[in-house]
Amino acid sequence: MRGITTPSPSGSRPGGIRRATRLLATLAVVALAAGTAGAGASSAKEGPERSGKSSAQQREETSPFTGLPAEPAPVMAVKIDNHKDARPHTELENADIVFVEKVEGGLSRLLGVFSSKFPEGIGPVRSARAYNVEQLRMFDRPILAYSGAREGVVDLIEKSPLYGVSHDDYPDAYFRGGDNEAPHNLYAHPDKILAAAPEASKSKDIGFRFADDAPEGGEATDERTVDYGSAQTTFNWSAEEDRWLTSFDGEPAETTGGARLGGQTVVVQKVDMPPDDGGTPYEKTVGSGEATVLRDGKAYETKWERPTEESGTTFTKSDGERMAFDRGQVWVVYEEA
């Protein structure tokens, strides 16, 4: 197996086990909320003053990115290589959100957003693009870990509120490893990257909404492919695993630990992609447009909206209700409008 292997606690799991795990996690949050309310009623010493948090804060200890229990933590986005020679990926299964993005020549790159879990190594890491600055501003001031970029892109990152932690500026935060040949063998040390940006913003609402039960409506769907020309990303619904399994270029997407990649929710977001000064498609994520949301074996047609760079992105169904994602890892794939 190529690449590097680190512990992978969230690999592929049978659907019953995953659903039971999610149910237990949800019950834990409910119990926490009930316990907080009961404690506040019985004694002032056991209320919010003692814990240092308000009752509302204690009830909201869930990730705004996955809908699962998680403490607020710094947001770290890692630009990940998706060339065929860079696969399999390392620890992408532990990202809260995975973005699939079109780059030059109709190829694709990935952007993993980590906050709930920070594994020992992530990668392979590759270069940033100009659109990543606009894209990541919805997380406020997150970390962007990357390896190289055009001079104009580096200037854009340095002038932005993002905390750019590049391989060029922080070489000790990265390492070469595995069996892949350069440049597809560079990996990130999350602990060192986090240490380089101690004031990075923590996880917050970016517009996602979650619910255990799927909304009414939707069209039964078992497969969806987004084709960039030289790269294809496919999602197949697995009732057994209760999630969408990912394939790249017709091959199952796996991790260095052997786990199959995939998410509980997949968003195919249609955006404009005009070429930037370097000829790279510039994914315009501010504005509005159409999006298809896949969850529980169904496809829901929605409208996405993001008024400003600092705004989150909302997904609304035709009936005016916010689209509820399934709890777990979310994949967002940009498709040309």
Mean pLDDT, range 38-63, rounded to an integer? 45
Say yes or no to pLDDT of 8 above 50.
no
Assess contact for 6 and 121: CB atoms under 8 A. yes
How much is the mean pLDDT over the chain?
Answer: 87
Residue 55: predicted pLDDT: 45
Longest dimension (CA), the chain: 64
Residue 11: predicted pLDDT: 37
Residue 178: predicted pLDDT: 86
Say yes or no to pLDDT of 197 above 90.
yes
DSSP lists the bridge partners of residue 315 as: 304
The share of the chain scoring above pLDDT 70, in percent, equals 82
Mean pLDDT, range 98-125, rounded to an integer? 97
Residue 133: predicted pLDDT: 97
Say yes or no to pLDDT of 23 above 80.
no
pLDDT tens for residues 85-96?
Answer: 999 999 999 999
Residue pointed to by tokens 């992609």: 273
**Cα distance between residue 336 and residue 46, in whole Å:** 53
Cα dist. 269→18, 68, 69 in Å?
26, 23, 26
Say yes or no to pLDDT of 182 above 60.
yes
Assess contact for 51 and 171: CB atoms under 8 A. no
Dihedral, 48, 53, 54, 60 alpha carbons, nearest 10: -130
Buried b (16+ CB within 10 A) or exposed e, 259-275: bbbbbbbbbbbebebee
Q: How confident is the model at residue 157 (pLDDT cuts 50, 70, 90)?
A: very high
Mean pLDDT, range 8-26, rounded to an integer? 41
Please choose, from the candidates 121, 47, 136, the residue with its C-alpha nearest in 3D space to the C-alpha of residue 90: 121
Mean pLDDT, range 60-78, rounded to an integer? 95
Say yes or no to pLDDT of 25 above 90.
no
Question: How remote is the C-alpha of 235 from its chain's centroid?
Answer: 16
Q: pTM of the prediction?
A: 0.85
What amino acid is encoded at 3 in this protein? Answer: G
Say yes or no to pLDDT of 1 above 50.
no
Length of the chain: 337
Q: Residue by residue, what is the 3-state secondary structure of 59-118?
A: HCCECCCCCCECCCCECEEEEECCCHHHCCEECHHHCCEEEEEECHHHCEEEEEEECCCC
Q: How confident is the model at residue 22 (pLDDT cuts 50, 70, 90)?
A: very low
Please choose, from the candidates 284, 304, 282, the residue with its C-alpha nearest in 3D space to the C-alpha of residue 293: 304
All residues at 6 or more sequence positions from 93 whose CB lies less than 8 Å from its CB, including other chains:
8, 10, 11, 255, 257, 259, 261, 329
Please choose, from the candidates 261, 164, 145, 269, the residue with its C-alpha nearest in 3D space to the C-alpha of residue 208: 269
All residues at 6 or more sequence positions from 98 whose CB lies less than 8 Å from its CB, including other chains:
92, 110, 111, 112, 113, 261, 263, 329, 330, 331, 332
β-pairing verdict for 330-336 and 97-102: parallel
**Cα distance between residue 244 and residue 330, in whole Å:** 10
pLDDT tens for residues 287-329?
Answer: 999 999 999 999 999 999 999 999 999 999 999 999 999 999 9
Residue 72: predicted pLDDT: 96
Assess contact for 78 and 115: CB atoms under 8 A. no
Q: How confident is the model at residue 21 (pLDDT cuts 50, 70, 90)?
A: very low
**Cα distance between residue 37 and residue 30, in whole Å:** 11
Residue 179: predicted pLDDT: 86
Q: How confident is the model at residue 277 (pLDDT cuts 50, 70, 90)?
A: confident
Residue 59: predicted pLDDT: 54
Say yes or no to pLDDT of 47 above 80.
no
All residues at 6 or more sequence positions from 90 whose CB lies less than 8 Å from its CB, including other chains:
3, 4, 5, 6, 121, 122, 123, 124, 178, 187, 255, 256
Say yes or no to pLDDT of 154 above 80.
yes
pLDDT tens for residues 209-249?
Answer: 999 999 999 999 999 999 999 999 999 999 999 999 999 99
Three-state DSSP state, 214: coil
